[in-house]
Amino acid sequence: MIGVFDSGIGGHSVLRALRAQLPDEPFAYFADTEHAPYGERDEAFVAQRSLAITRKFIEEDGANLVVVACNTATAAAIHLLREAYPQIPFVGVEPPLRPAVAVTRTRQVGVMATRGTLASAKFRALHESLAASGVRFILQPCDGLALAIETNDAARVRELCERYVGAVQAQGDVDTLVLGCTHYALVDDVLQAAAGDGVRLVEPGVPVARRVAALLA
């Protein structure tokens, strides 16, 4: 059994990619909706919740692989999970900056993410590792967007998507937009409408699914 968790419904975008890649595998999904979104909580709290959920997956449900389907939880806790359960493979999520570098033509990429993800050491290391690529990353914290998606507030989602996409596009000729939170992929149609047809959206679900498939193989 493969355990998948996020602070709420956002990880369903990753689960969707996992099921497409691995249709015969059994999955269990845990949405920590009571504490959503993780991106607006401190690292210690996110780490504590991640450990508690992982403990349930492994010790009660018998999971033999765990997917941390949340950028914030990956940055805050995946190293702790690996230390606590060294016999279990863990796959985390990170903003897909590398795939974006491969597809951008203008060499200007917008990155939409929670403030917690953008402030993390893990993201900073990823960002710095791509300095030699020549791509300019425009980082946009999206306060409130994950919560609006979580609560299914369609009007608020549209308002925030238009505001944050507009803020990114005002800073450069962006042709690629990285969705740095798993929640955002659930409203990709709204984001695409705000960005326009000429902008490519890049989400993290497919790379995660490929990594899980490789580990199982």
Longest dimension (CA), the chain: 50
The rounded distance, in Å, linking the Cα atoms of 211 and 133 is 23
Sheet holding 136-141, edge to edge: 136-141, 108-113, 176-179, 200-202
Nearest residue to 165 (alpha-carbon basis) of 186, 135, 182, 190: 190
Could you say which of 65, 100, 174, 181 is catalytic?
Answer: 181
Active site residue 70: yes
Q: Is residue 142 among the annotated active site residues?
A: no
The span from the CA of 100 to the CA of 110, in Å, is 9
Candidates 68, 70, 109, 142; catalytic one: 70
The residues that are catalytic are 70, 181
